[in-house]
Chains A and B, each alone.
Chain A
Amino acid sequence: MSEKFLEIKDLAVTYETDEENVNAVNSISFSLNKGETLGIVGETGAGKTTTALSIMQLLPKEVGKIKNGSIIFNDENLLEKNSHYLRQIRGEKISMIFQDPMTSLNPVLTVGEQIGEALELHNKAKKENINQRVGEIMELVGIPAARKSEYPHQFSGGMKQRVVIAIALACEPELIIADEPTTALDVTIQAQVLDLMDELKNTLNTSMIMITHDLGIVAQTCDKVAIMYAGEIIESGTLEDIFSEGNHHPYTVGLFNSIPKLNDKKTRLEPIDGLMPDPTNLPKGCKFHPRCLHCMKKCKMEEPKVYKKGTKTIRCHLYDN
C-alpha cells in the first residue's frame, strides 16, 4: 500500500517582479503515499499555497518561477513536461479545491455544466452519458441531482463548496490538493464538509494534500503533517509525532500555545512575539531566530540542518548533535 507516488525534492519558488524578488518557497522536500493525507500548516505568507500551485504548475506566468527542485508524480518529473501534457494531468490525475467557493465557480454556467465540463475535457464519459454521470457525482457529494440546472448564486456557501468538491472528484483523481477548503464556511457546515471529504477519500482511496492554518482540522483529517514557516518546512512527521509531547521546533510550540484551548482554564495565551519575516529580505541563518526564545549565536549565522528521528524531521540547531 505504501508506494510513494508524489515526491517533491528541494523545491524553490521565487516571485520575480521589477522591484523585488519574493522567496516564497525555499527548498522544501516531502513525499506522499497512496491513500494518505498530508496536512501543510502555516500562517499567511508561509508558502503553503505557492507549494500547491507549483505542483499544479499554476503559478502566475512571468512572475512565479520554479528555481530548483523536482516534482515526481508517478515516476515522472512534472517540471520537465510540456503544457499539453500538464493539461491532461490537471483535473484528471491531480485536482484542486480552492479556498473560496464564492469565487471559484463560474457564475454564468449552471453547476451541472461545470461538473460536466471536467468529464468532457478528459473524455471520461460519452456525451450521452455525461448528464447521468453528473447526477451521480452530485448525489455522491450530497447535492440533489435535480439541482444541476441551477446557477452558483442559488447555492449557499456550504453547497457551493460541495459543487467545487464534485468538480474536483469528477474524474476520480489520484491526488486532491485542498487549499483551505473550509476556511470560508461556518463551523457546523465545516464539520459537514470535512466529514464528506473524509468519507469520499476513504471510498475512492484518493490521496490528499490539505492546506490549512487550523491545527484542529489537521488533527481530524491528516495522517502526516508538515509545518511551514517562511517558505521552509521546519518540522514534519506523522500526526502522532507532531501532536504528542517530545522534541519540537520552537515555532511549533509557539503555534500550539497561541491557540486558546477549550479545556483550559482562562489564562493568558503565550503568543510568539514579532512577525513573520519579510520574504523579500529573509534573515540570515535560521529564519525563525528573531522570534525564537531559544535563539543562540549559531542560529544567527548558520542555517540549521534537518534533524531526523524516525518519521520526524526538525530543522533547528537545538537538536544538533
Chain B
Amino acid sequence: MSQPLIQTKNLKKYFNTSKGLLHAVDNVNLSINKGKTLGVVGESGCGKSTLGRVVLRLLDATEGEVLYKGDNILEYGKKDMKELKKKLQIIFQDPYASLNPRMTVAQIIEEVFIVNKGIISKKQMRNRTKELMETVGLANRLINAYPHELDGGRRQRIGVARALALEPDFIVCDEPVSALDVSIQAQILNLMMDLQEEKNLTYMFITHDLSVVKHISNEIAVMYLGQCVEKVSSDELFQNPLHPYTKALLSAIPIPELGAKNRKRDIIEGEITSPINPKPGCRFSARCKYSTSKCSANDIPLKEVSKGHYVACVLY
C-alpha cells in the first residue's frame, strides 16, 4: 500500500460560541491517495467547508492530525508551513466574491508569485500568467480585464488558474461549480478532470450536489453534523448506500427522467439538529426512522462492513 498524500486522524474543530461548543468537525478520519479525488458531500452546516479549511490550516484544528506524505502538518512552524502551502491550494465557491474587484486578471494571478518570492523572476511572470490562462481556457485578450467584465464561468477559471500557479499537489475544491449554470458547470468540471489527468493532481471535492460528486470522485465521504457517516468508493455508494442518511440524501435528488413522479422516495422528516453541544450517539437518530435506544447510547464509530465500505450505523 502506498502512502496516502493527505490523511486526517481524529481531526476535530470546535468553535466557541455563546451557547456552547459548536462541533463543526468531529473525529474525522480520511485519506486521499495521489492523483485521486475524494468527494465530501453533505448539507449546509455539516462541516464540509470547515473540514477543507482545517486540512489546509486556514483554520486551526482543535485536536487530531493532518498528515501530508506522512508528516503531521499541524506541528509545522510558520516557515515550513509557508513552503508547504505552495503544494496545497484551494478553489473557492463563489467566483463573484473570491476575486478582488480592483485587480485585473493578470494582477490576480501574478499576486501569487509576488507573495511567494523567488519562484520565478519578474520578467517571466507575464509569460507564466499567459501560460496559465491558456491552460484553463481563458483567452489572452482578457489579461487586463477586471472580474466584473467576466461571467461566472470565466471567473471560476481565474480561480482555477490561481490555484494552479504554484504547481500544487493537492487542491481543496470548495463547491467550485455550485454558483454556475449547468452548461458552464459542465465546462468547468471537464477542465478540472483534464487538469487532474495531466498534472496528476489530488482533489478534495466539497459539494452538496451528489450527481456532480459522483461524476468526479473516486471515493466519497458523506458528512452529517461534523461526522463522517459513510465512506466508500463512488460507484458502490450509489449502488449500495447503507447509512439511512445516505439513502435519504440519494432519494431526495430530483432525477431528470420520465417517471420521476412515480418514483418512491423516502423523504426524511425534520431538519438538521444543532451542532452545539450535541448529545452522544448517532447525530442523525432524531430524524432516522430506524432509530432505536441503541442509537443514542454511545458514539457510533465508522466500521468496515465490506471491503472498503465504511459506515457509522448500529444497523450494521
Contact = CB atoms under 8 A, between A and B. Distances in A.
Interface stretch (B67-75, B85-93, B206-214): B206-214
Contacts of A159: 271
A187 B260 contact: no
Contacts of B189: 260, 269
Interface string B268-283: 1101100000000000
- With a 10 A CB-CB cut-off, give which of B208, B211, B248, B250 has the most chain A CB atoms: B211
Interface stretch (B101-109, B251-259, B305-313): B251-259
A257 B238 CA distance: 20
A192 interface: yes
- Chain A: interface secondary structure? helix
A290 interface: no
B151 interface: yes
B292 interface: no
A65 interface: no
Nearest to B215: A260
A104 B249 CA distance: 27
B256 A188 contact: no
B186 interface: yes
B183 A272 contact: yes
Given A220-B261, A240-B258, A243-B257, A260 B214 contact: yes
A43 B183 contact: yes
Contact of B249 (A187, A214, A261, A270): A187
Contacts of A259: 182, 186, 211, 256
A208 B184 CA distance: 29
Contact of A191 (B44, B181, B193, B265): B265
A275 B238 contact: no
A67 B272 CA distance: 47
B223 to A, nearest CB: 13
Interface string A251-294: 00011111111110010111111010000000000000000000
A118 B127 CA distance: 62
Interface string B289-311: 00000000000000000000000
Contacts of B190: 268-269, 271
B267 A216 contact: no
Nearest to A291: B183
A194 B257 contact: no
B43 A186 contact: yes
Nearest to A261: B211
Contacts of B214: 260, 262, 266
A21 interface: no
A103 B42 CA distance: 24
A244 interface: yes
Given A239-B258, A262-B238, A188 B267 contact: yes
B43 A158 contact: no
Given A43-B183, A188-B268, A243 B211 contact: no
A156 interface: yes
Contacts of A195: 267
Given A188-B249, A259-B211, A194 B256 contact: no
A214 B260 CA distance: 13
B183 A218 contact: no
A34 interface: no
A255 B257 contact: no
Contacts of B216: 266
B297 to A, nearest CB: 25
Interface string A161-191: 0000000000000000000000000111111
Contacts of B152: 44
Contacts of A263: 238
Contacts of A256: 256
Contact of B183 (A240, A255, A268): A255
11 contacts: A187-B208, A188-B43, A189-B271, A191-B265, A192-B267, A216-B254, A219-B254, A219-B258, A221-B261, A258-B182, A268-B190
Interface of A: 43-44, 156-159, 186-192, 194-195, 213-221, 239-240, 243-244, 254-263, 266, 268-273, 275
Given A219-B256, A254-B183, A260-B214, 14 more contacts: A44-B152, A157-B44, A158-B271, A194-B254, A214-B256, A215-B256, A219-B255, A219-B257, A220-B255, A220-B260, A257-B186, A261-B211, A262-B211, A275-B153
